[in-house]
Amino acid sequence: MNFENPIQIQYILNFLEFKNNVCKYNNEKVEDPLYYINEQKKIINFINSNYIVYKVSIPIKITKFDLYTIAKHYQTNKFVSTDVLLIYNDIILENDESSIDSISENDFIKIIDIRNYPDNSYFNTLKTFKKIKLILHLFMIMVKSKIWYYLKI
């Protein structure tokens, strides 16, 4: 998976959007990973690529960089730390020091982590390759038949 490839990102977004109706909540409790910070917080719903929704209480003063760090705790494979990509309203959130003021209370953020997603592009490539192979095979049969025709003369 390449985070720089917009076609792959769009395919994954379409794949996750298609399955949005089967999302299941981890449990109805609100998690607070930064429980020791005593300031105003808002609840953000993280959806990982296994369609599990986590309600997380986040301080309103954190940056998007901190949000990426928190989101890694809710990615699909918690035992392997990989890069993640956060999608909010079908827009990629930049991993920078900007504010999260644009994210409202109870909004959903999709977590896309590096893994193999179902994709039919490889199958389509094989189908195209088989068509080309069949055309070449037919062409070779035609060429051979002409050669045999001329050799018989």
100 vs 15, higher pLDDT: 100
- The three-state secondary structure class of 70 is helix
Helices first, then strands: H and E counts in the chain: 3, 6
List the one residue out of 12, 6, 38, 25 whose CA is nearest residue 108. Answer: 25
Predicted TM-score (pTM) of this structure: 0.65
Beta carbons within 8 Å of 39's beta carbon, 6+ residues apart: 59, 60, 61
pLDDT in tens, 103-125: 989 898 988 876 655 556 555 66
Looking at residue 77, what is its pLDDT? 72
Average pLDDT over residues 20-39: 79
Task: Say how far apart CA 87 and CA 96 lie, in whole Å.
Answer: 14
pLDDT band at 57 (very low <50, low <70, confident <90, very high): very high
